[in-house]
């Protein structure tokens, strides 16, 4: 069998981008060269790897079986190149995903503490946990740090650190003088919330919504953490948010926490594909994260 690493690279590029043109651009090859490599690979394997759904190429069942093996081959080849010769000190590219709270309020400090940027190209994607899980399934990420626990059987999930949610308000909010409150006492409040796909909104739906009368409360929906924090600071309503995200404004006295007769813990997780080959750079970073998580104490 005469499968080449170039054919494997072409296959994974098409799998990730869904068409020959994008794969050619990423690989700096002509569209014709990419098409020929794919044809040669499918000929060697005596099977089609994609369903042709014009203008896209969609992985079929055979292609889905090949993708994790192809990803591992590329990673192992990169490990060999980085282990020897003039690039021996270079750890290679690390592709990390993080949900909004982790990516904005934890990950930069973690990267700095671990020194991961030295001799290493690092690409960080900050988006919703659902999107990150899909990227892991497509092998577009090496590792993700997410809120909640995915239900995808293909993904390996490890508990990392525990966060907790808090209800925040403006510094002159009248309910500050009535602590501790029950959730039923928040029925008349205006809520400032993230969009439904966000982790904090999902936590709101889990912990808060069941205790509220839908006919007695209103909400303002915003698409970023910072806009929610500013809206609360300006007195537009109260919000349910990660303590990590609210920490800076709480410490500077721009917002306050409403004391509630409940606690709202939230587990954060490390996630990667079960079939993902763990090259040296990824193994070192994941070990650092696990060790850091064991020392972490929520404030």
Neighbours of 37 (CB within 10 A): 22
HSE toward the beta carbon, residue 161, CA cutoff 13 A: 21
Peptide bond into 55 cis (omega under 30): yes
HSE toward the beta carbon, residue 175, CA cutoff 13 A: 24
3-state SS, 163-219, equals EEEEEEEECCCHHHHHCCECHHHHCCCEEEECCCCCHHHHHHHHHCHHHCCCCCCEE
The structure's pTM equals: 0.81
pLDDT of residue 214: 73
CATH 3.40.190.10 spans which residues of the chain? 88-161+267-295, 164-264
Q: For residues 11-20, give the mean pLDDT.
A: 93
Q: For residues 73-96, give the mean pLDDT.
A: 76
Q: For residues 10-31, give the mean pLDDT.
A: 94
Q: Which of 139, 180, 151 is nearest to 15 (CA)?
A: 139
Q: For residues 217-221, give the mean pLDDT.
A: 88
Which residue reads 């759904």 in tokens? 53
Q: Which of 296, 289, 294, 227 is nearest to 94 (CA)?
A: 289
Q: For residues 40-53, give the mean pLDDT.
A: 93
* Domain formed by 88-161+267-295, architecture: 3-Layer(aba) Sandwich (3.40)
CB 49 within 8 A of CB 12: no
pLDDT of residue 126: 95
Write down the CATH superfamily of domain 164-264.
Answer: Periplasmic binding protein-like II (3.40.190.10)
Length, in residues, of the chain: 299
Which residue reads 């994941």 in tokens? 286
CA-CA distance, 117 to 120, in Å (whole number)? 5
Q: For residues 170-196, give the mean pLDDT.
A: 92
At residue 152, the 3 state secondary structure works out as coil
Burial readout 63-101 (b: 16 or more C-beta within 10 A, e: otherwise): beebbbebbbbbbeebeeebeeeeeeebbbebbbbbbbb
Tokens of 168: 């925040």
pLDDT of residue 260: 94
CATH 1.10.10.10 spans which residues of the chain? 5-85
pLDDT of residue 118: 60
Q: For residues 103-110, give the mean pLDDT.
A: 93
DSSP class per residue in 102-119: HHHHTHHHHHHHHTTTTT
Residue 1 has pLDDT above 70, yes or no: no
Q: Does domain 5-85 have CATH number 1.10.10.10?
A: yes
Q: Which of 17-31, 73-87, 150-164 has the lowest mean pLDDT?
A: 73-87
């Amino acid at each position: 069998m005469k499968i080449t690493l170039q054919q494997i690279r072409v296959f994974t590029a098409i799998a990730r981008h869904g068409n020959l043109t994008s794969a050619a651009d990423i690989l700096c090859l002509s569209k014709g060269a990419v098409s020929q490599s794919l044809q040669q690979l499918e000929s060697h394997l005596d099977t089609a790897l994609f369903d042709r759904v014009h203008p896209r190429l969609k992985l079929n069942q055979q292609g889905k079986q090949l993708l994790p093996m192809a990803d591992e081959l590329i990673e192992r080849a990169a490990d060999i190149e980085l282990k020897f010769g003039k690039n021996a000190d270079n750890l290679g590219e690390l592709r990390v995903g993080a949900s909004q709270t982790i990516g904005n309020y934890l990950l930069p400090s973690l990267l700095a503490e671990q020194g991961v940027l030295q001799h290493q190209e690092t690409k960080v994607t900050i988006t919703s946990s659902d999107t990150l899980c899909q990227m892991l399934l497509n092998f577009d990420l090496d590792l993700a740090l997410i809120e909640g626990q995915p239900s995808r059987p293909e993904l390996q999930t490890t508990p990392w650190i525990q966060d907790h949610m808090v209800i925040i308000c403006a510094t002159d909010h009248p309910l500050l003088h009535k602590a501790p409150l029950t959730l039923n006492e928040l029925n008349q409040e205006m809520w400032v919330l993230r969009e439904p796909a966000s982790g904090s909104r999902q936590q709101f739906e889990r912990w808060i919504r069941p205790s509220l009368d839908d006919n007695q409360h209103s909400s303002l929906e915003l698409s970023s953490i910072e806009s929610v924090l500013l809206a609360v600071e300006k007195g537009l309503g109260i919000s349910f948010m990660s303590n990590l995200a609210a920490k800076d404004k709480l410490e500077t006295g721009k917002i306050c926490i409403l004391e509630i007769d409940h606690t709202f813990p939230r587990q954060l997780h490390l996630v990667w594909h079960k079939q993902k080959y763990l090259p040296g750079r990824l193994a070192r970073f994941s070990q650092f994260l696990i060790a850091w998580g064991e020392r972490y104490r929520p404030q």
